[in-house]
Amino acid sequence: LDVLKSVKQTLKENGLKARVVQVGCIGPCYLEPLMDIAIPGRPRISYGPVDPASARKIIERYLIDGNPSSDLAIGHFGVNGDAPDGIPHFFDIPMLKPQVRVVLRNCGFIAPDEIDHYLANNGYAGLQKALRLTPDEVIGIVKEAGIRGRGGAGFPTYRKWEICRAAEGKTKYMICNSSEGDPGAFMNRALIESDPHCVLEGLLIAGYAIGAHHGYIYINSDYLLAIARLKTAVEQMREYGLLGERILDSDFSFDVTIKEGAGAFVCGEETALIGSIEGRRGMPKARPPFPAVAGLFGKPTIINNVETLGTLPNIIRNGAAWYRQFGFDGNYGTKTFSLVGKVRRGGLIEVPLGIKLRDIIFDIGGGTWRKFKAVQTGGPSGGCLSEEFLDIQVGYESMTAAGSIMGSGGMIVMDEETCAVDLALYFLNFTQKESCGKCSPCRVGTWQMVKILENIVRGKADSADIARLQTLADTVQRVSLCGLGQTAPNPVLTTLRYFRNEYLQHVNEKFCPANICQELVDYFIEPTQCN
């Protein structure tokens, strides 16, 4: 906001006419704040990171003196040969070059609060095409494309739709799950803030396919900017005849309700989310019946993730064969990740499934400042994978086989200054607090596991505690009611599996090799070295 203020003041003080457009996240967060300047007839040039002073300097140099400040630029968006010498193309910078942008294609390029920007980039062309097809034909394209749920479970999208469409009853519902609670994850928020119409278009396409006439967007109440942009987008859709009765002169009618949730992590689970929308406490239910048969208000309901819905317009517009060129057998398409932690180049990325973890962390992320140690994938529900897994393909089955999950896309990179035991305690502490308490394996089991881990990091545990921790983790994973409890032990199980030596050092030697666990760190002051 300080940079934005400086930009507007500089333009005003110098009498410069320019349109200031706020866009969403383009991806390389490590370079933010970013500021681009586009002069008619010249390539758009990107600068970053900028502060209020450098923003003023760049504007005055370029717009008054004609100097594009190549020394401060990070990239351009013109065709080859158009840019000033020394400025690479933006998508040739190391973090962007290996990526493939499908769902993020508009992010950073269009004004999120202007529907005309979206329309000018083939927006709602997917919906127009879908409405010329039958619902079964739309489901057929989605089936052929092979897209699986991007919320983490990886269930084939078309299969859920088929079940719901075949379910009895005329009233059906579509829900967009924007409940994003993983520490370090911001993929859904960034997409809605940057390109809300792509998610809304996907919601309409899905609604048409299953026979629904009403959709809900369930979103964390603290996502203030995302909510504001969603509300603006919905109002624009109504104005343009994209919501309401007989959309685009078809027989399809649809409306949208934005439902703000309190941010409970467990409400990412389908039945808990449905309970929250209905005004009840968000607590999972035993299944069957599944939501596709009996969901919201007892009616057949489909719940799709933000990224799943945001990808649909591209699949319908470009065709299934186009989408299947990305990824590998059974894992088609691309996936967004929030790449954070001890990585040099952090941010929002989109890569084809099948890419190796090594390529993400070292080619895109630039590696770690200190020696790489591990990567936590899938957030609190995922696992901690050591260096030996850097060359596995990123996919649903391969990540599960390694003891982790791909999840919704959180990816936290760690170096040698990260303690594996402390990491397990951090994530388990999170899931224990977020447990709804309905089933005792999760409610009691995670609490007991936290207590054991606390004793280990404080040097108050013995070797028998490690065995008890392993048994508890296995039990909670096998018998908990919902996905939260079933996956909560993953950080513990994977650190026990791949970093057991650290547990033994904490227990037997009362030593933390990363020097993180304070009660296991001894220090002394050498008086002769003090000034």
Burial 123-145 (b: 16+ CB within 10 A, else e): bbbbbebbbeeebeebbbbbbbb
The predicted pLDDT at position 243 comes to 98
pLDDT-derived band at 528, boundaries 50, 70, 90: confident
Whole-number average pLDDT of the chain: 95
Residue whose structure tokens are 């010498």: 85
Average confidence (pLDDT) over 477-481:
95
Tokens of 72: 């401060």
Give Cβ neighbours of residue 298 (< 8 Å, ≥ 6 apart). Answer: none
The predicted pLDDT at position 181 comes to 84
The predicted pLDDT at position 525 comes to 83
- Residue pair 157/176 in contact by the 8 Å Cβ criterion: no
Is the per-residue pLDDT at 441 higher than 80?
Answer: yes
The Cα–Cα gap between 224 and 21 comes to 19
Is the per-residue pLDDT at 449 higher than 80?
Answer: yes
The predicted pLDDT at position 335 comes to 97
Burial category of 439 from C-beta neighbours within 10 Å (exposed 0-12, middle 13-18, buried 19 and up): buried
Tens digit of each residue's pLDDT (9 = 90 or more) over 89-124: 999 999 999 999 999 999 999 999 999 999 999 999
Average confidence (pLDDT) over 310-325:
98
The Cα–Cα gap between 215 and 237 comes to 14
The predicted pLDDT at position 155 comes to 93
Is the per-residue pLDDT at 249 higher than 70?
Answer: yes
DSSP-assigned states of every residue in 54-118: HHHHHHIIIIIT----TTTEEEE-S-TT-SPTT--BGGGSTTTTT---STTTTTTTS-TT-HHHH
For strand 214-220 and strand 173-178, is the pairing parallel, antiparallel, or unpaired?
A: parallel
Tens digit of each residue's pLDDT (9 = 90 or more) over 369-393: 999 999 999 989 999 999 999 999 9
pLDDT-derived band at 80, boundaries 50, 70, 90: low
For strand 214-220 and strand 255-261, is the pairing parallel, antiparallel, or unpaired?
A: parallel
pTM of this prediction?
0.95
Tens digit of each residue's pLDDT (9 = 90 or more) over 403-428: 999 988 999 999 999 999 999 999 99
The predicted pLDDT at position 521 comes to 87
The predicted pLDDT at position 81 comes to 64
- Planar angle of CA 105, 108, 110, nearest 5 degrees: 80
Using a pLDDT cut of 70, give the percent of the chain over it: 99
